[in-house]
Amino acid sequence: LNHEKVELSTVVRNSDLVTHFIHRHEPPVTTQALTIVRETEDGLLVIDKPGSIPVHPTGRYNYNSVIKILEKKHGYRSLFPINRLDRLTSGLMLVGLNADVARRMEMDLSAHRIQKEYICRVKGAFPAGRIVCEQPIRVVAHKLSLNCVDRDEGKPSLTEFELMAVDDDKMHSIVYCRPKTGRTHQIRVHLQFLGFPIANDPLYCNREVWGDDMGKGGALPLALPPLSDLPTPTDTSTVDTPAIPSPPPPAPASAEQVKPPAANGKGKKANRMAGTTNTSFPSDQSSVAWGPLVRRMEEWKTKQELAELVDAPANADAPRKCDKCADPFMPDPTPEQLCIWLHAWRYSGPGWSYETDLPQWASRAVEHIDRVKYQKETAKCDTPQ
């Protein structure tokens, strides 16, 4: 009270100044720095956001957010985020330094005048060629930020995919993504639907929650063993846990549809992939159908937190309890846990284009990009003038 500590019995009077201090623990984030790609004269700031950092202060995140880092470390004051990336997603972000430029860029985004290009690393050997997924998407659980394909209630969504490289062991692929709409988790949900989820995605590539099929074709798992019957993980560096037996997928009401190839305007053919959803539940009971999976995802998250608490090291360098609030200290997460292998690589609009460097996990994509550039340059040289 008035900059002094007082007893609880002290009477507060008019004009007294009451202050208090908050002691809080923010979740750990990557040590990778947020970098400035470009700042334009009209007030557009282009940044490269590391994975693990949310855009706005939210929940337990305050200082470790894009807005606060730009304010505290880079000295910016008025900030208007134009495109928003998921906390676990890395890559290019556009931030307005004034309301006018932010409004103009948002109008371009809404009118689809801005092209977004992403790079991701998925599970399995992704098929060659250009794949188009146009399954509608809706939110299943806001608290978990869980989304799904839903033909009845989902919003129109379209994403183009193209294979860039496949690992020698065929376990992972680097895939180029170009979303044409902007639904939450659109790329992640469409890749799961196609059967090639982002390999370290804790929501959509999680066998303990989804079973062996992991949501391919929109199918829900019908029966899985309780999470309490599964071994407690001692290494949470990957979400792709050992396979869990699951029943065969139910027979669809109609045969799976794969639309004929259609030209995409660049002389190539694009496979427009449509699939089937689990038809064991009527469409008007979709929320009821998703209930068990949502509860299972919540249980899985609780199990991971308990596993981290049990496995937390107890030595002089890593005390078990905070000396101020007695909260337990958790072990530092691995780099794979701090981000998912999804990176916003390049944004292009009328008269401009910005891109970021690619992360280490996408090194094969760099080889592919260099090879394509070389082929284009060679073709130009071979063309008669």
**36 conformational bin, left if phi > 0, alpha if psi -120 to 50, beta if neither:** beta
Average pLDDT over residues 301-323: 65
Q: In the structure, what pLDDT confidence band is assigned to residue 249 with cuts at 50, 70 and 90?
A: very low
Q: Buried (b) or exposed (e) across 104-133, using 16+ Cβ within 10 A?
A: ebbeebeeeebebbbbbbbbbebbeebbbb
Cα–Cα distance measured from residue 364 to residue 102, given in angstroms and rounded to the nearest whole number: 34
Cα–Cα distance measured from residue 229 to residue 243, given in angstroms and rounded to the nearest whole number: 14
Question: 120: closest CA among 66, 150, 160?
Answer: 160
Which pLDDT score, from 0 to 100, does residue 196 have?
Answer: 97
Q: In the structure, what pLDDT confidence band is assigned to residue 267 with cuts at 50, 70 and 90?
A: very low
Q: In the structure, what pLDDT confidence band is assigned to residue 72 with cuts at 50, 70 and 90?
A: very high
Q: What is the largest CA-CA distance in the chain?
A: 92
Q: In the structure, what pLDDT confidence band is assigned to residue 372 with cuts at 50, 70 and 90?
A: confident
Average pLDDT over residues 151-178: 94
pLDDT in tens, 121-154: 999 999 999 999 999 999 999 888 999 999 989 9
Q: In the structure, what pLDDT confidence band is assigned to residue 237 with cuts at 50, 70 and 90?
A: very low
Q: In the structure, what pLDDT confidence band is assigned to residue 308 with cuts at 50, 70 and 90?
A: low
Which pLDDT score, from 0 to 100, does residue 232 have?
Answer: 52
Cα–Cα distance measured from residue 40 to residue 6, given in angstroms and rounded to the nearest whole number: 51
Which pLDDT score, from 0 to 100, does residue 265 have?
Answer: 42
- Of the candidates 16, 42, 48, 86, the residue annotated as catalytic is 86
Which pLDDT score, from 0 to 100, does residue 340 have?
Answer: 95
* Residue whose structure tokens are 């027979």: 251
Query: What tokens does 359 get?
Result: 């992360």
Cα–Cα distance measured from residue 363 to residue 360, given in angstroms and rounded to the nearest whole number: 5
Which pLDDT score, from 0 to 100, does residue 374 have?
Answer: 62
Cα–Cα distance measured from residue 221 to residue 211, given in angstroms and rounded to the nearest whole number: 6
Average pLDDT over residues 32-55: 96
Residue 189 or 303, more confident: 189
Residue 254 or 32, more confident: 32
pLDDT in tens, 33-42: 999 999 999 9
Please state which of the ranges 153-167, 240-254, 262-276, 299-313 shows the lowest mean pLDDT. Answer: 240-254
Query: Would you call 86 a catalytic residue per the annotation?
Result: yes
Which pLDDT score, from 0 to 100, does residue 304 have?
Answer: 79
Residue 376 or 113, more confident: 113
When the pLDDT of each residue in the chain is averaged and rounded to a whole number, the result is 82
If DSSP states are collapsed to H, E and C, what string results for the chain?
CCCCCCCCCCCCCCCCCCCCCCCCCCCCCCCCCCEEEEECCCCEEEEEECCCCCCCCECCECCCCHHHHHHHCCCCCCCEECCCCCCCCEEEEEEECCHHHHHHHHHHHHCCCCEEEEEEEEECCCCCCEEEECCCEEEEECCCCEEEECCCCCECCCEEEEEEEECCCCCEEEEEEEECCCCCCHHHHHHHHHCCCECCCCCCCCHHHHCCCCCHHHCCCCCCCCHHHCCCCCCCCCCCCCCCCCCCCCCCCCCCCECCCEECCCCCEEEEECCCCCCCCCHHHHHHHHHHHHHHHHHHHHHHHHHHHHHCCCECCECCECCCCCCECCCCCCHHHHCCCEEEEEEEECCEEEECCCCHHHHHHHHHHHHHHHHHHHHHHHCCC
Tell me the pTM: 0.79
Average pLDDT over residues 57-72: 93
Which pLDDT score, from 0 to 100, does residue 288 have?
Answer: 76
Amino acid at 343: H
Distances in whole angstroms, Cα of residue 291 to Cα of each of 118, 154, 227: 31, 17, 16
